[in-house]
Structure 1
C-alpha cells in the first residue's frame, strides 16, 4: 500500500524512469557508434590510454590486411579477370592517343639523334616514316598485352593494389566499413531504446521497493553495459536463423548478405580495385621492373622488325651504336607514355574486368564465418571498451537522476 501511495504522489518520477532508461540505452549506443569511427587521429594526452582514437582508424592496418587477404584469396582471381581483356579491343580503344604518342616519340628520337638528317628529309618522307611506325602500333599493343597476360601473376600483386589504395586514403576504409554497416549501426541504436525501456521497468520496480540511491546509477551502468553487449552480439549472431517459440532470431549482418555483397562490391570496384590503380601497380609497382624489361624487349624487337631488310643500311647511315641508342631511347620514351596511353581504355577495361559483379557473386559463396570477417574485425578487438564506455555513461546518467530526485 505504501508503494501505491508513493506512486500516486510521485507518478511523474516513476513514469520517467523507463523513458530515461531508454534514453540511456540510445545515448550509449550512439556514443559507441561514433567511437567506432571518430576521431580519425588520436586525441588525448598519452597514447593509447589517456585519450581516444576511433576503433576503425586505430586498427586500420589490421583491417586493411584482413580486407586485402579476403579480396585476393576468395574474391578476385587475377589470372581469370585478365583473360577477359581482348587485346584487339584495347588497341582500338587507345588508337588515337597511341598514334599521337608514336608520332611524338619518332620525331623526338630522330631530332635528338640525327637532327641534321631529319631536317633535310622532305615533310612527306618524314610523314611516311611516322606512318610506318604507327602502322606497327596495334601489333605492338597486342604483344604487350600478351606479355602482361602471360606473366600477370609475377608482375601484379593484387593484394598490394588493395592495401595501397586503403592505406593511401584511410578515410576510404572508414567509408567502406561505415557504408556497409549503416543498417547495423541503426539497429544497434534502436536496440538501446527497446532494451533500455524494458530494463527501466525493472529499475522502476526496484526503486519503488528499496528507495536506495545506488539503484539508479547501478541500473544505469547495467543498462549501458548490457544493451551495448547484446546489440553488438545481435548484429552477428545467430549466424543461422533460429526460432525461439514465436521469436525468430538471425544476425542482422548475416541476414543482409545479398545487400552487403552489392554494396561492398560497388565500393571496392569504384574506389579500390580500379583500372587506374591496377595499371599503376602493373607499371609502377614493386614488381614492375620485370614487366618493363619484357615490354622494352618487345618494343625493341618491333623496331627491328619494322627496320626489316633496311636495318643494315640504317645502321651504316646512322652508325651501329647510334642505332642501338635510338632503339633504346624509343623504348624508354614509349614506356613513359604507356601508363597514360593505357588509361584511355579505362571504360572498356572496367566493363571487361567486371570486378564489381565478380566480387558480389563470390561474396555470396563465402562461408558465414568468412562473410562475418568483413565487419567483425571492426568490433572484436575493442568491443569491451565500447561496452565499458556504455556502462560509464549509463552510471553517470543514473547518478544525475538521483541528484534530481533527492534535491
Structure 2
C-alpha cells in the first residue's frame, strides 16, 4: 500500500483518484434526484405495456394512497354528525335559501312550461302570484327541515372513501401536488443527502481501488452508491419512528418530526381540494346512496303541493289527477337538480373548508408516530426496492463511464 501511495504521488495520479469521491457524490446526487422525479413523474404511463415503461409512483398509487388515508385518518372522525355540526348547519341553510329563493319563480315557470305550458299561459296573473307567494313562504321552511335531516343521516348518505378515491383516481396530478407541498423538505433532503452519502462512499472506494485496481470494482461501487444512498435517504426520513437520544442529541425520522406541520398542510389541501361541501353534496345527490338522498329531498318538497289548499284543488281540477302527479314528479326532479347549485360558490366552499381542515388536522396530530407513518408510507414501500434498484443500476452504468473517462 505504501509503495502504491508513493507511486501515486510521484506520478501525480492523486488528482485522478481525488475524482473518485467527487464522481461518487455526483452518482449519489443524480440517482437520488432521479428517484424523486420518478416518484412523481410521469403523471400518465409512458412506454410500452407491460414490460417497458414507467408511471410515477404517486400517480400510479393515488387511489390506493387515498384509500389508506381515509381508513387511517378521516374515518377517525367517528360520528359524521359531529363534523356536520362544526360546519354550522344554520350557515348551510342560509346559503341554500339565499341562492334558491331569488329564483323560485323562475323554477316554477320552468316546471309549468315543461308540464302544462298552455294552462300556465292562460292562468290569471293573480293565481300565478298566489303560487309564487305560497312557494316563497314554504320553501325556506322546507329547506331548514331538509338540512336538519341531512345532518342526522350524513353518515349514511356520503361514502367519504368513494369521494376521496374516485376524485384522486381521476386526477392523480392532485395527489402529486399534495405530496410535493407536504413533503418538499423531505424530498429536498433526499436529493442533497445523495451528494453527501455518495462522497463518503467515494472516499471508501479510493483505498480499495489502490489495493486491488480491478475494473469491475467501479460499476459495483456505482451500484452500491446508487442503491445505498436511496436506501439511507428513505430511512432517515422515516426512521427512527420514535425519538431516540444519542450523545445528548435527539433523533427521529425527518417526516415524523414535522407531524404537526405536515398534518396542517395535508389537511388544508385535502379540505380545499377534495372534501368540499360542493363535492360532498354532489356525491350525496349522484353517488352510491343517491336514492336515499333523493327520497329525503322528495319527503320535504312533496308537501309544498300537497298542503297548498285551494292551489292543490285548482291544479287537480285543471290538469286532472295524472297531470297533478306529473307536476309533483317534476317538482321533485327540479328540487334534486337544483340541490347542488347553492354550493357552486367558491367563497362559501373556502369558508367551510377551514372547518373540515381543522377537524382532520386535529385527528392527524393525535396519531402516534407509528400510526402517522403508516398513513403515507405503506403505498411507497411496494416501490422502494424498485426505486433503489433503478438507482443502483444507474450508479453501475455511471461506474462504467467513470472507468472509461478516468482510468481507460
Both structures adopt the same fold (TM-score exceeding 0.5):
yes
Number of the residue aligned with 2:377: 376
5 Å-filtered alignment, 1:8-407, equals 8=10, 9-47=12-50, 49-75=51-77, 77-113=79-115, 115=117, 117-245=119-247, 248-305=250-307, 307-308=308-309, 311-312=312-313, 314-344=315-345, 347=348, 350-351=351-352, 354-407=355-408
Cα 1:122/1:246, change in 2 over 3 Å: same
CA distance in 1, matches of 2:64, 2:114: 51
Do the aligned partners of 1:156 and 1:281 also contact (CA within 8 Å) in 2? yes
For residues 168-207 of structure 1, give each alpha carbon's deviation from its aligned partner in whole angstroms, at most 9, with x where no partner exists.
2111122222322221111111211111111111111222
Cα 1:346/1:71, change in 2 over 3 Å: farther
Unpaired segments ≥5 residues, structure 2: none
For residues 119-145 of structure 1, give each alpha carbon's deviation from its aligned partner in whole angstroms, at most 9, with x where no partner exists.
444434422331221121110111211
CA distance in 2, matches of 1:66, 1:314: 54
Any idea what SS the aligned residue of 1:381 has? Answer: helix
Any idea what SS the aligned residue of 1:354 has? Answer: helix
Do the aligned partners of 1:25 and 1:224 also contact (CA within 8 Å) in 2? yes
CA distance in 2, matches of 1:10, 1:29: 30
CA distance in 2, matches of 1:343, 1:230: 47
Do the aligned partners of 1:165 and 1:277 also contact (CA within 8 Å) in 2? no
Cα 1:260/1:303, change in 2 over 3 Å: same
How far has the Cα of 1:246 moved from its partner? 5.2
Do the aligned partners of 1:93 and 1:344 also contact (CA within 8 Å) in 2? no
Any idea what SS the aligned residue of 1:186 has? Answer: helix
How far has the Cα of 1:247 moved from its partner? 5.1
Do the aligned partners of 2:268 and 2:357 also contact (CA within 8 Å) in 1? yes
CA distance in 1, matches of 2:328, 2:229: 71
CA distance in 1, matches of 2:180, 2:79: 26
Any idea what SS the aligned residue of 2:309 has? Answer: helix
CA distance in 1, matches of 2:314, 2:264: 61
RMSD: 2.5
Aligned residues: 405
Unpaired segments ≥5 residues, structure 1: none
For residues 350-376 of structure 1, give each alpha carbon's deviation from its aligned partner in whole angstroms, at most 9, with x where no partner exists.
438711111111110012222112331
Cα 1:387/1:350, change in 2 over 3 Å: same
How far has the Cα of 1:78 moved from its partner? 2.2
TM-score, length-scaled by structure 1: 0.91
CA distance in 2, matches of 1:326, 1:42: 51
Do the aligned partners of 2:272 and 2:350 also contact (CA within 8 Å) in 1? no
